[in-house]
Chains A and B, each alone.
Chain A
Amino acid sequence: MSTAVKGTTRRPTRRQRGVDPIPRWLIVIGAAVALYFILPTLIVIPLSFSSASAFEFPPKDFSLRWYENFFTDPIWLKSLGNSFLVAILAALIATIVGTAAAVGLNRLTGRLAGFLRTLLMISMVTPAIVVAVAVYISFLQWHLTGSLLGYVLAHAALGVPFVLVSVTTALGGFDATLLRASSSLGASPLHSFIRVTMPLISRGVITGAIFAFVTSFDEVVIALFLRSPTFQTLPVQMYNSVTFELDPTISASSSLVVVVVTIIFLVPLLIGSRKKTR
């Protein structure tokens, strides 16, 4: 069924190609830009297997010493653990709070609802440094700098817009008559939410949660201001290693982070393909 539909939509483009070919120079530029997009990600992995004790590329000899360093140094390990802890808690809060807001806003119309939606999205466009400085000074007064709670709250707030966007998108294809059907069959609003709404928007919720997790896991600007000698996250330790310590362990850390984030982003794709085959 679906392949037949695809075939009919593809055919006109194929026919067009003869009349209207893609120019050669455009392909060259496109390939060059694509390389520019992926270049830093590409070199991170080979870099981490270098044996040199300075930053150099291409590596002359290969070794696992930076991975060994990473997994035996308590500072790196603790930073990694902190990052996971903060990101999981921040994503959890952002997902709950953001999903609730998306469901609420979906039912509301009018000027105030529109304003509140924009307000909730605003941290996406506020410069991180402005937020970081303001949060830093306020957190100093509230004794939240260098604390798990401080990190989690700040990162949760950054994750909310992503959850809001993806859950709103999922709700866009949601048929409200289903809810009326379930309530006419005697379900309470909460019951219908759990049994009807939740399964239908779950993909949006998972996508939002993943983005919230990665946003926190990778966040460095606010983390730099909230750090303390006793509590810091992995990106902060990576920052230290290029500014003060010149420690190539960052190469192992970089490729680990790239791999972890890639795997996490692949999760919804895997869920999607499993659903398709069913």
Chain B
Amino acid sequence: MTTTTRTRRAPRASWLLLVPALALLAVILLVPLGQSLLRSIGTPQFTLEHYAGLFTDGVTMTVLGRTALTAVIVTIVAFLLGYPYAYLMTRVGPRLRGVLLVIVLIPFWTSVMARNYAWIVLLQRGGPVQSVFEFFGAGDVVFQGSVVGVTIAMSQVLLPFMVLPLFSSLGGIDRKLLLAARGLGSSPLVAFWKIYWPLSRGGVVSGLILVFTLSLGFYVTPALLGSPQQSLIAQLLAQRTTQLLDFAGAGALGILVLVITLALVAWANRFGGTISAIGVASTSQQKESR
């Protein structure tokens, strides 16, 4: 029924409704990215030297490796904290679940600069985190200006991207299966490992890829909490553009980062709606208030 009404109603007008959005997207995203692709292979004429340079300049690959390592650590931290949290969300009553969901969304609400400023204050030399470590006798622990500080701040803001897909995946698991396994004599750990974990793997994989992918592009947090000696790929990209004015080289690097990101996103998509997982943030709010 619905399909016949859909095809009957003027499809041409429906296509026209997409034009303004696509035009905006073209001006802001497609044309600038296309230009930077052309610049990276066409300066001064057709060449791949700017791409070859990424692999041979001795800097890009080191920074890319450091960025990937940071992303792996952030992803592991987010997983270790996010899995139990998402599991807890499936266990509590609807009211507390709503509260836990709002808490997950708070990092989204908190302004980027306010959040990074707060982490600077918490992690800086003489800050409260150092005092806590001093209290326990671990003298000189300062996280600002180190990869650890960057990791702490990044994991916090990326945790929602782990928790939300996990929650939707864990929420669909029938807990009676676990009770059945226990009833048949398996220990809680074995029941979890044999029954629950395999069923949750879809959410785990999309959460892992999502957090890893998003952490590759972080710019503000490493710039403010990291150290210039240990810059990440986004800082390198910014530096090539605004300081070295190497637009062709920056174009090649930007395209490389973009291709890696989109490939990972496409891969994650096979494990269930990754892009929409971010959209959950906006729609879940609607659902909760309904």
Q: A interface vs B, CB < 8 Å?
A: 6, 9-10, 13-14, 16, 19-20, 22, 26-27, 29-30, 33-34, 36-41, 43-44, 47, 55-58, 93, 96-98, 100-101, 103-105, 107-109, 116, 118-139, 153-154, 156-157, 160-162, 164-166, 169-170, 176-177, 179-180, 189, 203-204, 207-208, 211, 214, 217-221, 225, 235, 238-239, 242-243, 250-251, 253-255, 257-258, 261-262, 265, 268-269, 272-273
The answer to whether B113 and A250 touch across the interface, beta carbons within 8 angstroms, is yes
Q: Among B9, B21, B289, which residue has the most Cβ atoms of chain A within 10 A?
A: B21
Does residue B148 face the partner (Cβ distance < 8 Å to A)?
Answer: no
Tell me, rounded to whole Å, the shortest Cβ–Cβ distance linking A236 to chain B.
9
27 residue pairs of the A-B complex, CB under 8 angstroms, read A6-B94, A39-B118, A44-B118, A97-B21, A100-B21, A101-B18, A116-B22, A121-B279, A124-B279, A126-B258, A127-B216, A129-B219, A133-B238, A133-B250, A137-B36, A165-B276, A166-B283, A207-B283, A207-B286, A218-B111, A225-B238, A242-B113, A254-B117, A261-B109, A262-B109, A268-B285, A272-B289
Q: Among B5, B29, B111, B262, which residue has the most Cβ atoms of chain A within 10 A?
A: B111
Residues of A within 8 A of B289 (CB): 268-269, 272-273
Binary per-residue interface labels of chain B (165-198) against chain A in the complex, 1 for a CB within 8 Å, 0 otherwise: 0000000000100110000000000000000000
- CB-contacts of B240-290 with A (<8 A): 241-242, 247, 250-251, 254, 257-258, 261-262, 265, 274-276, 278-279, 282-283, 285-286, 289-290
Known A-B contacts: A119-B25, A134-B33, A166-B279. Give 12 more (CB < 8 A). A19-B179, A29-B88, A34-B100, A34-B103, A57-B121, A116-B18, A137-B36, A156-B24, A160-B25, A169-B279, A177-B5, A254-B113
The answer to whether B32 and A37 touch across the interface, beta carbons within 8 angstroms, is no
